[in-house]
Amino acid sequence: MLANGSTIKGFLLMQPIAPYFPPMISAIQRAGPRVKPPTAYELSGPILDEEVEEVTKWIEEYKQSWPKTDITLMSNGWLNKVGWLNKVSKKEFLNLLAYSPKGTAFLSSKDVSGTKNDTNFYVRLYDQIVEEVEDKHVVQFITDNAGACVSAGIKLMDKRKHLV
């Protein structure tokens, strides 16, 4: 993939760097011309549905371990510059993840574009996510080092004394 996200003849240039790309090409070569790629419908329909079901099942099993292990919540903000016909717009997102010894799970991504991202905003958001995953299972909350996030973390620890 080029810096602007473009492709050459529909082929993402970052794919050869991915660790699974060379073994995939080798497997295709071994299988030969009889390999039939899935259709767009199969990828966006039944195959996607199966993957969503499998991931949902894994996350439910993962959540069952929380009472024994507790979790660390993590948030990370990022900016996506989207360009289309020489117009560039910026979208801001905040990803929320849960970590436990069993692994890390993506919880949600919030589009925070156009919001006033001050300390109070982050306190409300962080407090909401702690409630959603059940306060008693959260032992710490890791944020990025933006000033408002750090301040929000301090306020959240003041409110929820068990957090570090």
CATH number at residue 163: 3.30.420.60
Q: Which residue range is the domain that position 40 belongs to?
A: 22-64
Query: Of 77, 162, 160, 141, whose CA–CA distance to 115 is shortest?
Result: 77
Q: Is residue 7 part of a domain?
A: no
Q: Is residue 120 part of a domain?
A: yes
Q: What is d(CA 43, CA 41) in angstroms, rounded to the nearest whole number?
A: 5
- The one-digit pLDDT tens for each residue of the chain (164 residues) are 444 444 445 555 555 567 887 888 888 888 888 878 888 899 889 999 999 999 999 989 989 999 999 999 999 888 877 666 566 678 888 999 999 998 899 999 999 888 888 899 989 999 999 998 888 889 998 988 888 888 988 888 888 888 87
Domain shared by 111 and 146, yes or no: yes
What is the total residue count of the chain?
164
Domain shared by 74 and 60, yes or no: no
pLDDT value, residue 85 = 59
Domain shared by 33 and 79, yes or no: no
Q: Is residue 27 part of a domain?
A: yes
Q: What is the DSSP letter of 18?
A: S
Q: Is residue 133 part of a domain?
A: yes
pLDDT value, residue 1 = 40
Domain shared by 26 and 86, yes or no: no
Please count the structural domains in the chain. Answer: 2
- Asked which of 34, 64, 94 is the last residue of a domain, the reply is 64
Domain shared by 79 and 60, yes or no: no
Domain shared by 113 and 56, yes or no: no
pLDDT value, residue 158 = 87
Residues in contact with 90: Cβ distance below 8 Å, sequence separation at least 6, in sequence order: 79, 80, 81, 82, 113
Domain shared by 47 and 78, yes or no: no
Buried b (16+ CB within 10 A) or exposed e, 101-110: ebeebebeeb
The single-letter code of the amino acid at 102 is K
- Strands 71-84, 87-100: pairing kind: antiparallel
Answer whether 0.85 is exceeded by the pTM: no
pLDDT value, residue 3 = 47
Domain shared by 50 and 74, yes or no: no
Q: What is the DSSP letter of 143?
A: -
pLDDT value, residue 43 = 87
Domain shared by 161 and 95, yes or no: yes
Query: Of 123, 137, 151, 124, whose CA–CA distance to 73 is shortest?
Result: 137
Q: Is residue 48 part of a domain?
A: yes
